[in-house]
Structures are given as structure tokens and as C-alpha cells.
Amino acid sequence: MKFSHRGPAPTNRNDLQTIRSLLPYVWQFKWRVMLAMACLVGAKVASVIAPLYLKDIVDQLDMPPTALVVPIGALLGYGLARLSTSIFGELRDALFARVTQGSVRTIATRVFRHLFALSLRFHLHRQTGGLSRDIERGTKGIGFLLNFTVFNILPTLLEITMVAAILFWRYDFLFAVVTLSTIATYIAFTLIVTEKRMVYRRSMNDLDSKANSKAIDALINYETVKYFGNEKYEIDRYDTNLGKWVDSAVKNQVSLNFLNMGQGVIITVGITLLLWLSAQGVVNQTMTVGDVVLVSAYLTQLYAPLNFLGFVYREIKHALADMERMFGLISENREVQDRPDAKVLDTRAADVRFESVSFSYEPNRQILFNVDLAIPAGKTLAVVGASGAGKSTLSRLLFRFYDVTQGAIRINGTDIRDLTQDSLRHHIGIVPQDTVLFNDSILHNIAYGDPNASFDDIVQAAKAARIHDFVSRLPDGYDTQVGERGLKLSGGEKQRVAIARTLLKNPPILILDEATSALDTRTERQIQEELNLIARNRTTLIIAHRLSTIADADIIAVMDHGKVVEQGTHRELLLLNGRYAQMWQMQQVAEETGGPFS
């Protein structure tokens, strides 16, 4: 399966589709939107009326001193129009604030939820740094798009329409023709040049995400970088990507300068023509000084938003490009989904069976072949075999990180594909080989097994995992920070935290995925006792490396190249004198001689 998320930036975007994706989130605040639109119209109507009062004021003041009176009505009208523009504008902003921020919150939450709903396959392909940048830019783009579309594009278009209508109504049609021609030329030029510029913006976004991904990946693997002395290599990779980003950024800036110059020329020509027509009208006595003031006032009102319109349009296109990847995440296919009639699993005695299970990560790479295994409720099945035999794949399929290609996995006779994923995973706990902890306190990491657990329950779990005494001796106790991925704790301490949070979860099904293979022999023996304790009376799947740790399992299955080649108890398999007996003998010799299995 191919994931498009980290591919090159798309060149055939559908901006209308992006906007349509956004509208349902905005429309959840429909009453606020409609009230904000009413205020917007009120503000623009008042803004367009104000110059008419200004014209009357000038005309009444442009009279012989003997006939001059204070134009009170026009002054009051002008003042009221200006005040209305301000009040309606502020009301519009206040009403729309909840729409913008609420939409951002809803979409960001949905993206976050959807990411957790995607399969493990997607998350094995993703790059965390680039993904976080895509979400960050996308949410910022939403706020920008909504604010500038509603507060700039729509008001400006409305104002242009009303001004053109007034000019056409009161003056020669050439005023309206020049105004509309200038605006049409300006918009056409802006659209054409901005579209050509977007290739640089998309390239900048892609290169920025890649550079950030490489930087975060290198920092996460700080120790590995230091082990191999590859600081210069990582810095060079980061700098190379930044160099490409600089090239795109420079081209983006140069094209922006060209766009600004072209817009300035168009606006200047339009304003000059309108002023020339106004001056000619005064000379021919078909227009008054007030008319010139009126036209000038409209030009001043249109100039600022029209000049700003180019910037707004560019930024809206940028926002759409930024939102593109984020909405792409939402449309990413959910490989594993609940069926419409999925049942909720609710049991404390779970019988687990793998029935003729075959599985492929890729069509040309089959991992499991007709695997049949059974774990009766409360019993323990241990699976052993060489690396790549398919052992860990069993646990991933049981968790339903993937769905089986053929066959079925059943719990108490029900295919797990007929169960809700939440209820299925609620019934399964795991102690993995490599315990990765959150960069938070020990308390938080243990409580992760049950976020609603009381502090006393957390302490009891820690005691059962034999980590309470260690934590109590720390200066900050349970508030001790464990560092990125738990790196401040030793391997044994991290494993005990993993055991404690699994105990707190208290699942009826337990998976021990080579939980002690990375530990030294002494620590392994200590933790093995704790693992045996928590596995008691639970349906347990053990994926083992050292055979000595699973000799007491109820059933032992030997896997080789995705197939179960032997099954039985420890004693039965030794008497069979097959693959398991050979592995047992090799490990016994290695332990006696201090070889690699010790």
C-alpha cells in the first residue's frame, strides 16, 4: 500500500475541494456566521454612504459667504455613517471569533483522532517532524483563510460593486467603466502571476517538512548519531535541504516583487484616469468640487483594500496549500475499521484461537502461512523461533493493527473483525521488548494503563511490579521525569514501569513480546518472576527469545519462516528431539560457555 503523505507536494490541487472540506466545520456555527455576515453588509453600506455625506458637506460649504450655513444634517449623517462602520465591524469580528477558533479546534481534533485510527502500516511510513509541521501549518491556514475571506475578500467585492453602481448612477458611465476595468485587470493579473508563484510555495513547504523531519529524527536518535560520529553527516543533510529551501524562497520573493510592481502600475493608471475624468467634469461644470471629493474618497476607500486584496489572495492561496496536506491526512484510508454491526467484547475469561491464519505485509512478502494456534482461557502459549519467523506479527494481528489476509483470529469463538477495536484492545495488555515511555513523570507513565485510576491503585501496581521502593528513593518520587522515550531510566526500570501500567490496566489477555531479551541475566531473572506473577490466570501469549523463560508454559509453539513446525509442552518437545530440542541444546551450551545466549 502506498501512502502519499510524505510524497512530493501535489501540483494538481483542487482548491474548491479544500474549501468544501472546510465548510461543514464552519457551518456548525451557522447563526454566528449569518449574524457576522449581516454586520459585514451593514459596515460596508455605512462605509459607502459616508462619502455621499462628505460630498454634501463640501458642496454646501462651497457657497458665497452670505449664503453659507453649517450643514448640520450632512455632518450628523457623515458622523453616524463612520460610527456605524466601526461598530458593525467590531461586532462582526466578535461574532466570528468563535467560528474561526471553534473550526480550528474541531478540525485539529478530528485530524488527531484520525491519525490514531490509521493502521500501524501508515505510522511505520510517516515522519513525525514533517507530519507535525503539516498539521501546524494547516490549522494556521484555516484561521487565515476564514478571517481574510470573510473580512477582506467579501467586503472588498461588496464595496467595489456598490461604488461602481453609485458612479454609474450619478456620473458618466466612463467612471464605472474605468473603475471596473481597473479592478478586472488587477484581479486577472494577480490570479495569473499568483498561480505561477504557487509552485515555489509548494516546493518550500515540502522542503521545509523534509528538513524538519531529518532534524527531529536525528535529535530523537541523538545517541546513535554520537555513537557513529555522524554529526557532520546529519548537519550536512539538514543544510542541503535548507539550501534547496533557500533557492525556492528566493524565487518566491522575486516573483512577489514582480507581482507588486505590476499591481502598482495597474492601480496608478486607474486612479490617474478617474482623477482626469473628475477634473474634466469640473472644468466643463458638469461636476462640483464635492463630486471630485466624492470620487477621491471612493478611490481612497477602494485603493487600500484593493491593494491589500493582492496580498490577501496570495496568502489565501498559500493557506490552501498549507491546508492541503492536513485535509489529505483526513482522507487517508483507514485500513482497519470497525464493521457497522461490530460487537463489544466483555469478558474476563478469553479463549484465543488462530485458525489457518495467513498474512502479508505486502503482496509479494507473505509472513504467515496457515498458522493454527490455541490459547485456552487462563493458559499460556509461548512462541519461539528465529528472528523473522513471524512471532511478533502474531501480537500485531491479535491487537488488530492489521487484519489477517486469510483465516481468522477468534476470541471466545468470535472473529475479532466482528468486535469493536476499542473493546478488543481494552482486553489486551502488552509488555514489549523495547518499552518506550512518555516524556513525563513516572506517575503519568504508570497511570497510562488506566488514566482514571486512583493514586493508591497506581502505588499498588508499582509495588506489584517491584518498582515502588526504587521510586520512593528518588528525590521527586512519582513526579520524577523520565526523559525522552524514558532514557533517564535503565532498561530494567523501564520494564518494571511497563509491567506496572499493564497491571493497572488489568487485562484478561496478556502479551509478553520478548519482554526480557534486552536485559542482563540478573535483571531478567528478577523481572521474569514478576512476569510470571502477572501472567497467572490470564490468557497469555509469550514471544520468547530465551527458552529457559518459557519452559513452564502450558503450550510451546516453534515457528520457522511463518509456519508452526512443532507444538507441545516443554517436555514433549524435548522428547520429540526436533527443532525445539536443538534450540534448547544450543542455548544450554551457550549459557554454560558464556556465549551469545547468556
Residue 373: strand pairing partners: 354
Same domain, 375 and 317: no
pLDDT of 545 reads 76
- Higher-confidence residue of 223 and 584: namely 584
pLDDT of 509 reads 93
**Residue 153: is its pLDDT beyond 50?**
yes
Query: CA-to-CA distance for 267 and 349, rounded, in angstroms?
Result: 78
Please give the C-alpha separations between residue 14 and each of 10, 11, 19, 27, 204, in angstroms, as whole numbers: 10, 10, 9, 21, 19
pLDDT of 10 reads 43
**For the purposes of burial, counting CB atoms within 10 Å of the CB of 470, is it exposed (0-12), middle (13-18) or buried (19 or more)?**
middle
- Higher-confidence residue of 420 and 85: namely 420
**Residue 445: is its pLDDT beyond 80?**
yes
For 131-146, how does the pLDDT look when each residue is reduced to its tens digit (9 = 90+)? 777 777 777 778 777 7
pLDDT of 12 reads 47
Query: CA-to-CA distance for 367 and 357, rounded, in angstroms?
Result: 10
Q: What percent of the chain has pLDDT over 90?
A: 15
Any domain includes 10: no
Query: CA-to-CA distance for 513 and 475, rounded, in angstroms?
Result: 32
pLDDT of 130 reads 63
Any domain includes 390: yes
Any domain includes 451: yes
pLDDT of 89 reads 78
For 495-539, how does the pLDDT look when each residue is reduced to its tens digit (9 = 90+)? 888 888 888 888 999 998 877 665 666 666 777 777 777 888 889
Same domain, 75 and 112: yes
| Residue where the block lists cell 469463538 | 413
Pairing label, strands 380-385, 539-543 = parallel
Provide mean pLDDT across the span 440-451.
89
Q: What is the DSSP string of 421-444?
A: HHHHHHTEEEE-SS----SSBHHH
Same domain, 496 and 356: no
Any domain includes 581: yes
pLDDT of 493 reads 84
pLDDT of 126 reads 61
Question: CB of 394 within 8 A of CB of 385?
Answer: no
pLDDT of 62 reads 57
For 455-491, how does the pLDDT look when each residue is reduced to its tens digit (9 = 90+)? 999 998 898 888 898 899 988 899 988 887 777 888 7
Same domain, 236 and 120: yes
pTM of the model: 0.62
- Higher-confidence residue of 519 and 43: namely 43
Same domain, 515 and 534: yes
Any domain includes 6: no
**Residue 13: is its pLDDT beyond 60?**
no
Domain boundary among 481, 506, 531: 506
Domain boundary among 484, 506, 528: 506
**How confident is the prediction for the chain on average, in pLDDT?**
80
pLDDT of 432 reads 82
Same domain, 147 and 198: yes
Pairing label, strands 365-375, 352-362 = antiparallel
pLDDT of 279 reads 81
Please give the C-alpha separations between residue 276 and each of 180, 341, 480, in angstroms, as whole numbers: 16, 75, 76
Same domain, 325 and 350: no
Any domain includes 8: no
Domain boundary among 458, 481, 506: 506
pLDDT band, residue 46 (cuts 50/70/90): confident
Neighbours of 550 (CB within 10 A): 21
Neighbours of 249 (CB within 10 A): 17
**Residue 307: is its pLDDT beyond 70?**
no
**Residue 597: is its pLDDT beyond 60?**
no
CATH of the domain at 241: 1.20.1560.10
Q: Using alpha carbons only, what angle is made at residue 303 by residues 260 and 48, rounded to the nearest 5 degrees?
A: 155
Nearest to 372 by CA among 389, 355, 384: 355
Same domain, 189 and 277: yes
Pairing label, strands 380-385, 406-411 = unpaired
For 262-297, how does the pLDDT look when each residue is reduced to its tens digit (9 = 90+)? 888 887 888 788 888 888 887 887 777 777 777 777
Provide mean pLDDT across the span 399-415.
92
How many structural domains comprise the chain?
3
Query: CA-to-CA distance for 531 and 380, rounded, in angstroms?
Result: 12
Provide mean pLDDT across the span 414-422.
92
Please give the C-alpha separations between residue 279 and each of 141, 201, 283, 295, 297, in angstroms, as whole numbers: 45, 44, 6, 10, 14
Provide mean pLDDT across the span 311-319.
74
CATH of the domain at 483: 3.40.50.300
pLDDT of 232 reads 86
pLDDT band, residue 397 (cuts 50/70/90): very high
184's CB contacts (< 8 A; 6+ apart) are: none
Q: Directed axis angle between helix 289-330 and helix 30-61, to 10°? A: 160
Any domain includes 227: yes
Residue 128, amino acid: T
Provide mean pLDDT across the span 341-353.
91
Which of 54-63, 423-432, 584-593 shows the lowest mean pLDDT across its residues?
Answer: 54-63
**Residue 351: is its pLDDT beyond 90?**
yes
Grid cell listed for 124: 511505520
Nearest to 530 by CA among 491, 570, 500, 486: 500
pLDDT of 1 reads 39
- Please state the φ and ψ torsions of residue 434, each to the nearest 5 degrees: -110, 100
- The range of the structural domain enclosing residue 25 comes to 15-330
pLDDT of 271 reads 78
pLDDT band, residue 555 (cuts 50/70/90): very high
**For the purposes of burial, counting CB atoms within 10 Å of the CB of 446, is it exposed (0-12), middle (13-18) or buried (19 or more)?**
buried
Contacts made by residues 350-353, CB under 8 angstroms, sequence distance 24+: 350/377, 350/411, 350/412, 350/427, 350/508, 350/509, 350/539, 351/375, 351/376, 351/377, 351/411, 351/412, 351/413, 351/539, 352/398, 352/409, 352/410, 352/411, 352/509, 352/539, 352/541, 353/409, 353/410, 353/411
**Residue 113: is its pLDDT beyond 90?**
no
Same domain, 172 and 109: yes
Same domain, 422 and 439: no
Any domain includes 7: no
Same domain, 460 and 368: no
| Number of residues that this document lists for the chain | 598
Same domain, 371 and 489: no
pLDDT band, residue 61 (cuts 50/70/90): low
